[in-house]
């Protein structure tokens, strides 16, 4: 059994993806992922352990079946959870669908959903429950919407303090996870 200490980040970028291309850096979900990397780079105590940095990079032109999909799965198998960046701009791509499907339905990884367009907890809520506009975002990823009842999902605005709390909460780590349900920070 492999050591599961990584945070696997799932986010939408147009395919084919080129990290060095301006297009990726203009995609808000990818920019949000890079913000976590920046916070870690400027503060080693920031509790983010990037699963993407644990294996060698692959080129976008690589074959999906023989290279890309196996690499995603390898990274997910060494992860304790999935951090999903979900916004109005998120589109269900082959890679994003695979990440969520394999993470939830094969590995049982808890999902921490970060909403880049929302800055405080109250912006996610209406009368103490998640707003319909938040729940409607789940429809952008049908595999998430249809599978999230199998694992705990934590819904967090793009707020550094709340993200730190979420990343430190052992209820959202695969080996110590809470009961499947919807949780909010």
Stated pTM of the model:
0.90
3-state secondary structure of 82: strand
Higher-scoring residue by pLDDT: 181, 62: 181
Write the burial class of residue 140 (CB in 10 Å: 0-12 exposed, 13-18 middle, 19+ buried): middle
* CATH domain 6-184 topology: Rossmann fold (3.40.50)
Residue 55: the pLDDT is 60
Phi-psi region of 128 (alpha: psi -120 to 50; beta: other; left: phi over 0): left
Mean pLDDT across the chain:
90
pLDDT tens per residue across span 145-164: 999 999 999 999 999 999 99
Residue 59: the pLDDT is 52
**Which residue ranges make up each domain of the chain?**
6-184
Query: Which of 121, 154, 158 has its CA nearest to residue 39?
Result: 158
Distances in Å between the Cα of 40 and the Cα atoms of 10, 36, 50 are 17, 6, 9
Question: 55-64, 136-145, 148-157: lowest mean pLDDT where?
Answer: 55-64
pLDDT tens per residue across span 85-122: 999 999 999 989 999 999 999 999 999 999 999 999 99
């Amino acid at each position: 059994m492999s050591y599961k200490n990584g945070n696997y980040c799932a986010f939408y970028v147009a395919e084919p993806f080129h990290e060095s291309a301006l297009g990726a850096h203009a995609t808000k979900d990818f920019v949000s992922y890079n913000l976590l990397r920046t916070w870690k780079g400027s503060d080693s105590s920031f509790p983010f352990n990037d699963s993407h940095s644990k294996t060698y990079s692959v080129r976008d032109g690589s074959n999906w079946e023989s290279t890309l999909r196996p690499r995603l799965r390898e990274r997910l198998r060494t992860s304790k959870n999935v951090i999903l960046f979900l916004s109005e701009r998120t589109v269900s791509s082959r890679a994003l669908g695979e990440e969520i499907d394999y993470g939830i339905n094969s590995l049982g990884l808890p999902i921490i959903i970060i909403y880049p367009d929302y800055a405080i907890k109250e912006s996610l809520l209406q009368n103490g429950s998640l707003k319909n506009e938040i729940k409607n975002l789940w429809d952008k990823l049908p595999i998430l919407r249809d599978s999230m009842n199998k694992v705990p999902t934590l819904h967090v605005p793009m707020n550094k303090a709340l993200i730190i709390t979420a990343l430190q909460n052992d209820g959202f780590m695969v080996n110590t996870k809470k009961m499947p349900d919807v949780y909010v920070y």
